[in-house]
Structure 1
């Protein structure tokens, strides 16, 4: 349930903090005081559509924050886990900023989320139903979902099973149809893949090969330069005509050995010269070995360059390096095998389609039967609720349109629409065309009462759903909303004293001009305050002793019923 709500710079609200309780809470006050603005704020916290128009004039952003308890709400917990949002305790904090730039910043328990995630989680916490929000009833395409929600325990497992089979069927059917419709393109694709796979595999590429070839090319291109340098170095170290570097160093080493024991500094010099002598001998040996192994192959450089050019051409087509080329080869090979298998198994694919279609039909018929059983129960439940709302003459029917025949959709084969007959002798017809505004309110309230136990939504908000009714109908609506509040927290905006009297808690919303600006204020009414407010709602602008007495009677009746 919604425990606390904080609103900053939202419409005509500068700053407002509200603490809510369980049960039924009503917000009353004069028209235009800002009651619906508070509900708009809750709706935005639940992921509703935002607009910079909500930002209070003269400020840079509107800030909304709500604290919810989510005990025993598996749908909320599952979504939090799915999106990696921490929830160590049953308290959930939703935050939303609407900035003048149009940017929305949303957080859940401190984690940044987008408005899509905020909406998904918000829908498990809050259900807002306003006087202009009969869309679900007015849109026949939503009726099937409402029926499924009514019997979710029986329908959801079957629907999930159907949708998995339906997705498999659709994928296979699309693949089959695509192949049949594009056989020329299919054949061209197979030929191209064959060419590409053969071209890459014939090249017999090896990871690291290009680097090795470039090294070989570097050596071959510098063969003469390397050979000349090695010969020059060898001559300098071992010159038969004159003393080479090694001989000269050897003479220096022998000369120093005669004095190395006289002083440590001569010993150090002798060691350095000795080390240099032996290193020069090693270097001379290495140079000789390199010169002996060097052999000019006139065709080798050409081979290396041709191989590098082959790799370069493959890189232009299939990837930036050999690893990417080989990865492309693997992907192309898999696609080729799949298409070749598909070519050879076309009859098998068609047979498989028929088999899956039969399986899909079996599940769809089972799902449809379950829905029709649920529809009968829903009709009885709605009739019962409508009687209590003084629509005892009305007949409600979940109509299954089977005129289109067996046609698979993602939701099954059923076309469902709610039908209504408001008076005996009239024809049964689509609810969306027959029901009046007041009747729609009562039908939706009947459905809300039925769904309250199963939906698991922690807070249900009614925004003036009682508009246009009075007398015993108003009292019946009040009692119905009170009943819903026994399953979920209910927040209700109302102009009916009968509804307000049934509430467990009542806030009075008013507006005042301060510093030339209109501001919304909220007062938590005690018992005397509730009497005064109910009297105002009963009498209008002038509160009389009779209206006060009537208000007291309403409160007494509500708390003793």
Structure 2
């Protein structure tokens, strides 16, 4: 549920914060007052397409923030946030989006920066916005199967999950089979190439850490003279006549004598003794290295040649020797697979046949569930349409089947909603014959049916009642109120019948101050609410009669709402 919405520097809204409650909230106001701007803000907050044109003139950025509460522990937002590493505390989600005047936006969920795509995914689980032009799902035949599956709910989940797994396994195996089922010429070319590459790599006899060892050896060979001179000088300084070790030996001897007299010198005597023997051992070690040092210009050439070979092979097969050896192992496996190609093809083809049988069986079960549910959906929608004064309409779910052996992500079914709105006319695809008003009522019927199961916390209707009046207007008001029993509903409306059904009524108005235009939003009660509904009913002039009529309309609405609970 949307608990609080904060808007700053968005279009003509300078700054606006509003707290929403559950039930039906209706927003009314004069045309152009900014009602749809609020819906635009919510839409952008849920990941809609943004534009720098939304940023209020003179501002650097527009700031949008919404606080949502999750009323179910199974809400899909939990899973999406968990997958993204976003923590949800106390069942609260805060969506924030900043639109900069350069057209770029920054998105956050519970304070964590997220890409727009993730904001859109999470927003889709929280908000469902339906406007007078938002009938894409109904106008796209490809979406009808998803609407049917949504209605099926738990009836189809297990079979659907099983089908998805089998479909993925089937597709993976098909790709593997296609990869090895190439023509003979391509196979021969691959075998020749892999054999050449393996021979070239094997001839090098690389070790994984060889490049580091060779680089270190080259450094020693290139600095031979410096190494010899420095180590020889160090050896002479330690063991030469009257040099370091002689003087330290003399100090050691003197301190040993003193320590026998004064024990306070014992610690220092031992330290000097240790230093003497350590230096003596180091000098002997340096001497051994000096005896073995020998400059070999041929070895330097060998090392340089080997390192050049490594660089050449790295340009072909990988950026490191480890990658080169890994590539060698990989093509070795692929070469073995190519040599056993016929056997692998036969094995995969048999597995594919078995998988296809399983997939067909599961797809048939999907179809059976959908046909059963299709009848239930048809009956439910026709019941809703009768209540929306489309009592003559005949709605049905039409099934088509993909050609034998073909499967897609949703099975083998193609679902198309059919409708006949006039007596004596045969049912035809809804997308071909339904008018705008009929589409709005059908979508409203669907939302009434789905409102108890789809998990959306907030449903927003943006002037879906445009172009209707009389008893149809009252029926639409009743439907929107019925949806609000199970979901929070925010509704922008010009119908007094809808406004009268509101649990919470906000008035939007546009004002001018210091040569700037801004929009304000105020919750209205009592006589103020009656005045606003009177204005909707009568237009510019509110009379005592319209005031009484509006008051009566609210009283009637209160009685009608009691029947919805």
TM range (shorter): 0.7 to 0.9
Residue equivalent to 1:384: 383
Residue equivalent to 1:57: 57
Residue equivalent to 1:430: 429
Are the aligned partners of 2:23 and 2:485 in contact in 1 as well (CA < 8 Å)?
A: yes
Q: Distance in 2 between matches of 1:413 and 1:550?
A: 56
Structure 2 CA distance for partners of 1:117 and 1:182, relative to 1, 3 Å: farther
Question: 1:360-439 residue pairs with structure 2 within 5 A?
Answer: 360-402=359-401, 404=403, 407-439=406-438
Residue equivalent to 2:563: none
Residue equivalent to 1:24: 24
Of 219-228 and 412-421, more deviation after overlay is shown by 219-228
Residue equivalent to 1:68: 68
Q: Secondary structure at the match of 1:415?
A: strand
1:223 is displaced (CA, Å) by: 7.8
Q: Distance in 1 between matches of 2:491 and 2:413?
A: 35
Q: Deviations over 1:242-281 (max 9, x none)?
A: xx84799989999x999x989x9xx9xxx99999999998
Q: Distance in 2 between matches of 1:466 and 1:237?
A: 101
Residue equivalent to 1:527: 526
Of 149-158 and 209-218, more deviation after overlay is shown by 209-218
Are the aligned partners of 1:459 and 1:490 in contact in 2 as well (CA < 8 Å)?
A: yes
Structure 2 CA distance for partners of 1:300 and 1:492, relative to 1, 3 Å: closer
1:350 is displaced (CA, Å) by: 1.4
Q: Distance in 2 between matches of 1:115 and 1:71?
A: 25
Of 344-353 and 63-72, more deviation after overlay is shown by 344-353
Q: Deviations over 1:47-72 (max 9, x none)?
A: 11111111111211111111111120
Q: Secondary structure at the match of 1:455?
A: coil
Q: Distance in 1 between matches of 2:247 and 2:27?
A: 111
Residue equivalent to 2:2: 2
1:5 is displaced (CA, Å) by: 0.9
Q: Distance in 2 between matches of 1:397 and 1:145?
A: 15
Query: 2:191 aligned with 1:194, yes or no?
Result: no
Structure 2 CA distance for partners of 1:282 and 1:461, relative to 1, 3 Å: closer
Q: Secondary structure at the match of 1:326?
A: helix
Q: Distance in 1 between matches of 2:407 and 2:476?
A: 40
1:363 is displaced (CA, Å) by: 1.0
Question: 1:68-467 residue pairs with structure 2 within 5 A?
Answer: 68-72=68-72, 73-214=74-215, 245=241, 307-402=306-401, 404=403, 407-467=406-466
Of 343-352 and 387-396, more deviation after overlay is shown by 343-352
Q: Secondary structure at the match of 2:81?
A: helix
1:435 is displaced (CA, Å) by: 1.1
Query: 2:34 aligned with 1:37, yes or no?
Result: no
Q: Deviations over 1:207-237 (max 9, x none)?
A: 3334444555666778899899999999999
1:16 is displaced (CA, Å) by: 1.2
**What is the TM-score when the length of structure 2 is the normalising length?**
0.87
1:440 is displaced (CA, Å) by: 1.0
Q: Distance in 2 between matches of 1:66 and 1:229?
A: 72
Larger radius of gyration: 1
Q: Distance in 2 between matches of 1:296 and 1:104?
A: 65
Structure 2 CA distance for partners of 1:275 and 1:117, relative to 1, 3 Å: closer
**What is the TM-score when the length of structure 1 is the normalising length?**
0.87
Question: 1:529-544 residue pairs with structure 2 within 5 A?
Answer: 529-544=528-543
1:182 is displaced (CA, Å) by: 4.8
Q: Secondary structure at the match of 1:401?
A: strand
Residue equivalent to 1:553: 552
1:302 is displaced (CA, Å) by: 6.4
Q: Which runs of 5+ in 1 are unaligned?
A: 239-243
1:407 is displaced (CA, Å) by: 2.7
Q: Distance in 2 between matches of 1:531 and 1:552?
A: 6
Q: Distance in 2 between matches of 1:276 and 1:67?
A: 72
1:287 is displaced (CA, Å) by: 7.5
Of 196-205 and 220-229, more deviation after overlay is shown by 220-229
Q: Distance in 2 between matches of 1:252 and 1:131?
A: 99
Q: Secondary structure at the match of 1:558?
A: helix
1:300 is displaced (CA, Å) by: 5.9
Q: Deviations over 1:448-476 (max 9, x none)?
A: 10000110101111111111111111111
1:297 is displaced (CA, Å) by: 8.0
Q: Which runs of 5+ in 2 are unaligned?
A: 561-565
Q: Deviations over 1:1-27 (max 9, x none)?
A: 111111111111111111111101111
Q: Secondary structure at the match of 1:5?
A: strand
Q: Distance in 1 between matches of 2:480 and 2:335?
A: 63
Are the aligned partners of 2:238 and 2:245 in contact in 1 as well (CA < 8 Å)?
A: no
Q: Distance in 1 between matches of 2:520 and 2:232?
A: 99
Are the aligned partners of 2:194 and 2:331 in contact in 1 as well (CA < 8 Å)?
A: yes
Are the aligned partners of 1:249 and 1:273 in contact in 2 as well (CA < 8 Å)?
A: no
Are the aligned partners of 1:406 and 1:413 in contact in 2 as well (CA < 8 Å)?
A: no
1:503 is displaced (CA, Å) by: 1.1
Are the aligned partners of 1:509 and 1:520 in contact in 2 as well (CA < 8 Å)?
A: yes
Q: Distance in 2 between matches of 1:47 and 1:233?
A: 72
Structure 2 CA distance for partners of 1:199 and 1:427, relative to 1, 3 Å: same
Q: Distance in 2 between matches of 1:30 and 1:230?
A: 94
Aligned length in residues: 552
Structure 2 CA distance for partners of 1:281 and 1:371, relative to 1, 3 Å: closer
Q: Distance in 1 between matches of 2:78 and 2:243?
A: 87
Structure 2 CA distance for partners of 1:305 and 1:375, relative to 1, 3 Å: same
Are the aligned partners of 2:77 and 2:125 in contact in 1 as well (CA < 8 Å)?
A: yes
